[in-house]
A and B are shown apart, each in its own frame.
Chain A
Amino acid sequence: MKKVIALLIAISFTFMGCWDSIETEELGVITVIGLGIGKSNDIRVIIQEIPHEKTTTSNQSSGGGSKSSFHLYEGSGSTISEAIQRMSANEHHRLYYAHTKIIILDEELVSSKGIKPIIDFFERAPHIRLSTWVLISPIGQFDKILSKDVGIGLDTGQILEETIHNKKDNSALTITNLKDFIELFNKSGSEAYASGVSIKSKSPSDNEASSEKFYARDTAVFKDDKMVGWLKDEEYIGFSWINGYGKGAIVNIPLGDGVLSLRLVRAKSKLEPIIDNGTMKININVEIVSNIRESQVSYNFINEDIIRKIEELQSEKVKSEITTALEKSRRLNSDIFAMGSYFNMRYPDFWKGVENNWYSYYPEVKVNINVNSTIKDIGNVYKALKR
């Protein structure tokens, strides 16, 4: 018994865990970190904290919707940590970053200063999770996105997180989290990309500020550590077939006098780099499985020939989408398809030779796209509708 007590005391002194102890109510829970560019060309940090509200047992709710859903803190400095330190030194709460949901990067910052210092900061800091989403705000929207309370009682971090969860299953859009973002940036032969976020009114006719909401759309494309441009959603779809995030997307095929909607079940892609007499070729093999979701035409889908035709049309459509995305990436001169990394994996010796001026070779790489598409399910309607 004495030994046990002595050991306990010894342990408690060695580790001195008390120092880490903090009462919960002293924390300021941060959900969004925004990084922008300051007036004197330094880094500007804006964070959102969830406000402390006392839960009252009585029924009388005070005030109603006048309360803001978050508090904003702002600071700037030549580095991120300096900005954060200056900011948190003046707060009565201990700012707590472990629950950060979203990192919003200003387009202005990432296209002029680059993401290298940002990535270093987030990778080094232990308290920010790698599962935090990274979003890019277009020029001029940074302040608005971070300061706007859309008035549904939630802070921006939670709204965006839930939007992203929803969006992941229902669209082809790829939202990168911090881990993917860092990995894409670090890997030799690939470039980083991140989804964009913007704030717009719900309908163009309604210009009232209260009806504005967030949209996760478009994809920011980086080259090295600088952002070089945007991939519009239409252009981006072709890319999503390749990175495998296309699940849930709808492919529309013009058929007869109407349109057929196919919903993607599975998309698998394989990139095969080939070096043939010093010329670089790449075979992109895409396998797509989808279901018929909606048909505006009266076809009898029991007929296998029709199915085969639809599959063919789908393959063509997908192929053209991939080509569009590829052309755009060549125009931006950014290898988001990570073709370089495939060459690196297959021909490491050869890659060493081209690594440093990969972008002089990149537009010349011959790309051969093969799409193999299958229709798995035609839905509950198997006969053509009469009228």
Chain B
Amino acid sequence: MVSNSSSNTKNEHGSEVKENSQLNTSQEAYSEAKLESMKLSTSLCENIEMLKKIAGANADLVTRNFTLGRARVLSAVIFYFDNLINSELVDSNIIKPLLTDSYLSGLNTGPEIVKELSVGNLITRAQIKKSNNMKELMDGILVGEVALLIEGTAEVYIIGSKGYDHRAVAESDVEPVVRGPRDAFIEVLSTNLGLIRRRIHSPNLVFESLKVGRVTQTTVCIGYIRGICRAKLVDEVRQRISQIDIDGVLGSTYIEEFINDKSLTLFPKLRHTERPDAASSALLEGRIVIIVDNTPVALIIPGEFFSLLQSSEDHYNEYIFSTLVRFMRHASYAIGLTLPSFYIAIANFHQELVPTKLLVSIISARTGVPLPNLVEAILMEATFEVLREAGLRLPRPLGQAVSIVGALVIGQSAVQASLVSPLMVIVVSLTGIAIFAIPQYNTAHPVRILRFPLMILSSILGLYGLMLGLLFILLHLCSLRSYGTPYLTPLAPFKPRDLKDTVVRAPFWTFSGRLRSTIQNEETMSSSKMPSPDEDGRNN
């Protein structure tokens, strides 16, 4: 792109016309169909000409000419993008065998070498394929493969030698755990697949790959376990992904929005994770994992409400503690959603519901505050959201500044200046902390948004309005489906068996089958009884 536009300017100036014609570039775009129709010829010059026309303007395209054989010399050329390949691999596995090793094994003429090549010898790289059209050639070199063209052969050897810079597998920042594995997905698809495959050694674990994006040609992998995941679900997801027709996929959200059932809702309908262990456990529960190249976040389908309130840590901690944590999490979800509106309803409408002493302290806290309760609450909650966003976007060293401003200016000075009542500060910060306790980032979004309409409702109608709002939310949740799974399973429809790993976290030996009842191939597990010592009570 850059060199294209620069050649354009040169063209306008007119002084560099010669160089422009030499590069043989134009602003013509090449569609896939057109590339496919461009067949390679036996003439090397023609092929090079054709390739230079398509990609010659790129500064990072490397062309290396050489000859094959001492007698009956055939000229050959390799093309690659030097920032996508591992140059050591190219040197030792492609160029060296062709230029030196072939003579050692007695191949002295060009055609002999070509013949040897065509049966799969000489080049030691494992990933090698032949093709006769430009499309596959371009696809190859654009993902870090090397194209080898030889005079007199109407085919190109596409040799895999990918090697580009990427982040090392590191600890997850977004979903940290105390017990359990620390590794997190990175931007490289193959590494991510490896992280999962290392956990599930099963021939039934399948990663299907699809290309999405007209321009970006991004690889999207659909992972599932055959025999556990419902085949219909896989078909549906595959079909929905293959229907996507956009220019580029730069993150998994692009895919998410295209494959969601009914997107007019605030509630997330699939789970995001950057933990391979969470992805693996989802696979074992019969869910589908979608991994998009260049995105360290995998999508888990279907994501019903209660699975979005879980953390992978729940399965790593002992079950009683995890159960209590889950209760607490549900409570904080409720607090985050309703506390400010509950406070407004109580303070504005139902003063008779509070104990007298509390009412008196509310009154004395509010004395002198110029704003009505609702305005005060909305202002404070909005301030909190702004602070939160600012803290997220600021360069890390400046994060301290936000907390100082937030704590001192908003927290203390505003109270001292009687702009807000101390009780409201408590309510807002409690709400904020409750929202932070929700383990998954996107699950908290509906809470953050919906508490504002709830505040307005309860300032109009009191607790009645709050209940009304909550009922609407409940009805909405009941109407949602996540890829065919009702959003509120296992509560509605009620599946008592599945409550064991949603509302509570029962010990693993209580499950007579797999963790979720909605998955295929329900087989009882033989270890479904409480571990206990032998009859005589002695083990040693």
Does A383 reach chain B (CB closer than 8 Å)?
no
Chain B binding site: helix, strand, loop or mixed by DSSP? helix
Stretch in A19-27, A116-124, A331-339 touching the partner: A19-27
Residues in A whose Cβ lies below 8 Å from that of B351: 22, 24, 27, 96, 98-99
Q: A17-B461, A98-B351 are in contact. Are A24 and B366 (CB under 8 A)?
A: yes
Quote the shortest CB–CB distance from B139 to chain A (angstroms): 44
In the assembled complex, 7 residue pairs joining A and B whose CB atoms fall closer than 8 Å, in A order, are A17-B461, A21-B460, A27-B351, A50-B356, A52-B363, A53-B364, A54-B368
- Asked if B302 is at the interface (CB within 8 A of a chain A CB), the reply is no
Q: A17-B464, A24-B351 are in contact. Are A50 and B369 (CB under 8 A)?
A: no
Q: Give the contact-size bracket for chain B.
A: 20 to 34
A158 to B356, CA, bound (A): 9
Residue contact A11 to B468, C-beta cutoff 8 Å: yes
B contact residues around A50 at 8 Å (CB) = 356, 360, 363
Q: Which of B458-487 contact A (CB under 8 A)?
A: 459-462, 464-465, 468, 472
List residues of chain B with CB within 8 A of the CB of A1. 264
Q: Does any Cβ of A come within 8 Å of B400's Cβ? A: no
Q: Is B365 a contact of A55 with CB atoms below 8 Å?
A: yes
Across-interface contacts of A22 in B (CB, < 8 A): 348-349, 351
CB-CB under 8 A from A21, the residues of chain B are 348-349, 459-460, 462
Q: Is the C-beta of B416 less than 8 angstroms from some C-beta in chain A? A: yes
Provide the A51-92 mask, 1 if CB < 8 A to any CB of B, else 0.
011110110000000000000000000000000000000000
Taking a contact as CB atoms under 8 Å apart, the answer to whether B422 and A27 are in contact is: no
A residues near B416, Cβ cutoff 8 Å: 57-58
Nearest CB in chain B to that of A58: its residue = B416
Q: Is the CB of B462 within 8 A of A12?
A: no
Contact of A25 among B366, B412, B468 (CB under 8 A): B366
A1 to B468, CA, bound (A): 15
User: Are A24 and B348 in contact, CB atoms less than 8 angstroms apart?
Assistant: yes
Asked if residues B366 and A15 are in contact (CB atoms below 8 Å), the reply is: no
A52 / chain B contacts, CB cutoff of 8 Å? 363-364, 367
User: Is A18 in contact with chain B by the CB < 8 A criterion?
Assistant: yes
Q: Which residues of B contact A385 (CB under 8 A)?
A: none
A22 to B367, CA, bound (A): 14
State the Cβ distance, A21 to closest chain B Cβ, in Å: 5
Q: Which residues of A contact B368 (CB under 8 A)?
A: 54
Considering only residues 91-113 of chain A, those with a C-beta below 8 Å from chain B are 96, 98-99, 101
A→B interface (CB under 8 Å): 1, 4, 8, 11-12, 15, 17-18, 20-25, 27, 29, 31, 50, 52-55, 57-58, 96, 98-99, 101, 127, 129, 158
Check if A29 sits within 8 Å of B422, measured CB to CB.
no
Residues of A within 8 A of B348 (CB): 21-24
Interface residues of B in 249-278 (CB under 8 A from A): 264
Measured CB to CB, the nearest residue on chain A to B462 is: A17
**Interface pair B352/A99, CB less than 8 Å apart:** yes
Contact partner of B359 (CB less than 8 A), chosen from A11, A23, A53, A99, is A99
Give chain A residues whose Cβ lies under 8 Å from the Cβ of B366.
23-25
The complex places the Cα of A17 from the Cα of B352 at a distance, in Å, of 16
Known interface pairs A4-B472, A12-B460, A101-B356; A17-B363 also in contact (CB < 8 Å) = no
Q: Establish whether residues B369 and A15, one from each chain, have CB atoms under 8 Å apart when the complex forms.
A: no
Q: Is there an interface contact between A27 and B363, defined as CB atoms closer than 8 Å? A: yes
Across the interface, do B349 and A20 meet the contact criterion of CB distance under 8 Å? yes
A129 to B356, CA, bound (A): 13
| Residues in A neighbouring B364, C-beta threshold 8 A | 52-55
Say yes or no for B169: interface residue by CB 8 A criterion.
no
Instruction: Write the chain B residue with the least CB distance to A23.
Output: B372
Q: Which residues of B contact A99 (CB under 8 A)?
A: 351-352, 356, 359
How far, in whole Å, are A99 and B352 apart by their CA atoms in the complex? 7
Q: In whole angstroms, what is the CA distance A21 to B457 when docked? A: 12
- Which are the 10 A-B pairs with shortest beta-carbon distances? A98-B352, A17-B461, A25-B366, A99-B356, A54-B367, A21-B348, A24-B347, A55-B364, A52-B367, A53-B364
Contacts of A12 in B (CB 8 A): 460-461, 465
Q: How far is the CA of A27 from the CA of B360 in the complex (A)?
A: 10
A17 touches B465 (CB 8 A): yes
A101 / chain B contacts, CB cutoff of 8 Å = 356
Interchain nearest-CB distance for B428 vs A (Å): 17
- Please report the C-alpha to C-alpha distance between residue A18 and residue B264 in the assembled complex, in whole angstroms: 31
By a CB distance below 8 angstroms, the chain A residues around B360 are: 29, 50
Per-residue contact bits, chain B 372-405, to A (CB 8 Å; 1 contact, 0 not): 1100000000000000000000000000000000
B343 to chain A, nearest CB (A): 10
Q: Are B460 and A18 in contact, CB atoms less than 8 angstroms apart?
A: yes
Q: Is the CB of B460 within 8 A of A29?
A: no
Within the assembled complex, what's the spacing in Å between the Cα atoms of A101 and B359?
Answer: 14
Minimum Cβ distance to chain B for residue A170 (Å): 23
B361 within 8 A of A: yes
In this assembly, does B89 line the interface, its C-beta being within 8 Å of a C-beta of chain A?
no
- Tell me the nearest residue of chain B to A52, going by C-beta: B367
Taking a contact as CB atoms closer than 8 A, the residue among A20, A98, A127, A129 that contacts B462 in the complex is: A20
Q: Residue on B with the closest CB to A31?
A: B356
Q: Which of A4, A24, A98 interacts with B373 by CB under 8 Å?
A: A24
Q: Which residues of A contact B464 (CB under 8 A)?
A: 15, 17
Mask for B402-442, Cβ within 8 A of A = 1, else 0? 00000000001001100000100000000000000000000
Contacts of B356 in A (CB 8 A): 29, 31, 50, 99, 101, 158
List residues of chain B with CB within 8 A of the CB of A4: 472
Q: Which single residue of chain A is at the shortest CB-CB distance from B357?
A: A158
Min CB–CB distance A12 → chain B (angstroms): 5
B325 interfacial contact with A, CB 8 Å:
no
A8 to B359, CA, bound (A): 30
> Are A24 and B363 touching (Cβ within 8 A)?
yes
Q: Which residue in B361, B362, B415, B460 is a CB contact (below 8 Å) of A17?
A: B460
**Given known contacts A96-B351, A127-B352, is B462 in contact with A57 (CB within 8 Å)?**
no
Given contacts A29-B363, A55-B364, 17 further A-B contacts (CB under 8 A): A4-B472, A11-B461, A12-B460, A21-B348, A23-B366, A24-B362, A24-B363, A24-B373, A25-B363, A29-B360, A53-B367, A54-B367, A57-B416, A98-B352, A99-B351, A127-B352, A129-B352
CB neighbours of B372 from chain A (8 A): 23
Q: Across the two chains, which residue of chain A brings its CB closest to B461?
A: A17
Roughly how many angstroms separate A15 CA and B464 CA in the complex, as a whole number? Answer: 10
Q: Name the CB-closest residue of B to A56.
A: B416
Q: State A109–B368 Cα separation when bound (angstroms).
A: 41
CB-CB contacts below 8 Å: B320-350 with A: 347-349
Whole-angstrom CA separation of A265 from B488 in the bound complex: 52
- List CB contacts (< 8 Å) of B218-275 with chain A: 264
Give the Cβ gap from B147 to chain A, nearest Cβ, in Å: 54
Question: Once the chains are docked, how many angstroms separate the CA of A122 from the CA of B352?
Answer: 16
Cα-based distance from A168 to B403 in the complex (angstroms): 52
Q: What are the residues of chain B within 8 A of A29 when measuring CB–CB?
A: 356, 359-360, 363
Q: Which residues of B contact A55 (CB under 8 A)?
A: 361, 364-365, 367, 422
CA gap between A244 and B382 in the complex, in Å:
57
Give the most central of B364, B465, B468, B472: most A CB within 10 Å.
Answer: B364
B-chain residues with CB within 8 Å of residue A98 when the two chains form the complex: 351-352
* Complex CA distance for A305 and B422, rounded to whole angstroms: 67
Chain B's closest residue to A99 (CB) is: B356
Output the least CB separation between A61 and chain B (Å).
14
- Contact among B352, B373, B415, B461 with A57 in the assembled complex (CB-CB below 8 Å): B415
Whole-angstrom CA separation of A24 from B354 in the bound complex: 12
CB within 8 Å for A25 and B349 given contacts A18-B460, A31-B356:
no
Q: A25–B367 contact, CB under 8 A?
A: yes
Minimum C-beta distance from B377 to chain A (A):
12
Which residues from B are CB-within-8-Å of A96? 351
